[in-house]
Amino acid sequence: MNTLKTVLLMTVLMVFFVFVGGLIGGRNGMYIAFGIAFAMNIFSYWFSSSIVLKMYGAKEVTEAEYPALHRLVRNLATRAHIPMPKVCVMQSATPNAFATGRNPQHAVVAVTTAIMGILSEDELEGVLAHELAHINGRDILIGTVAATMAGAIMMLADMARWAAIFGGGHSSDDENNSNPLGMVGMIVVSILAPLAATLIQMAISRSREYRADEEGARLCGRPLSLASALDKISKGVAYHPMEEAKPATAHMMIMNPFSASGMLNLFSTHPPVEERIKRLREQARGMR
């Protein structure tokens, strides 16, 4: 199912690129956009996880530097029957964590310095179990590809906006380069594209987070520890939102790195933390 979702996302990205390329440059623009989309899909599969790690300044750490963190990850990986992922740490005052990589053999778990400072060992183990559940479920690739897709869609919105400003949407006398929608079409795309990127992230993220919560709680054996961790992380993010976070990669985090409340929660890439905690408490009662 996750492989199918990845293929679908890549297809949507390619179709979107071709459509906007047609708006900007007619048929020739469609051909160019097709080539760019194909190259971006290949690039995102092999290199997007490295880009995300560099984006957040996540540095790989050794067992000598963080022995407790490595021990927790190794124990959980053994229970999950997956290879030991690389362990990275981000220097950040905001508590958060994410996993990335195209498959379990090339997986990375990254945590912020803040999350290690506010969580107990049991709570941190619950967070790491959540991230390893993403790895074990083989759905970190789709999150990484989605991050690349969202960034690409934002870029397309800017391209369409600038093309409209400088007259790129006017019809051409050449039939191959004619653009029936013209400037109006590009303006509409520049407005709707960021919304489309948000909807894509919401669609793929919310169900994945619920599943990772459930599987992670089962993996560590303590749903209440994960519930407590989510409560602390949520309060930490509300107090100190992650300044270095990017909207295109927000869905990869265990908690939305941006502070949001009220109507903004409807457009969050993550389910409401209250509902996640409620489900974990119900899971704990069921396990007892």
Spot the catalytic one: 123, 125, 131, 215.
131
131 as an active site residue: the answer is: yes
Whole-prediction pTM: 0.78
Q: Helix 2-55 to helix 140-165 angle, to the nearest 10 degrees?
A: 70
Which residue, chain included where needed, has tokens 């795309």? 189
Name the H helices within 64-222: 67-80, 113-118, 121-136, 140-165, 182-220
Going by C-alpha positions, the residue among 61, 56, 151 that lies closest to residue 100 is: 56
For residue 12, pLDDT over 60 is answered with yes
pLDDT tens for residues 257-268? 886 554 445 556
pLDDT tens for residues 204-219? 677 788 989 999 999 9
Going by C-alpha positions, the residue among 121, 136, 103 that lies closest to residue 218 is: 136
Distance CA 266, CA 252 (A): 18
Widest distance between CA atoms in the chain: 73
For residue 172, pLDDT over 50 is answered with no
The per-residue pLDDT of the chain, averaged, comes to: 81
Instruction: Indicate the SS3 state at residue 246.
Output: coil
Residue 216, CA atoms < 13 Å, CB-side half-sphere:
33
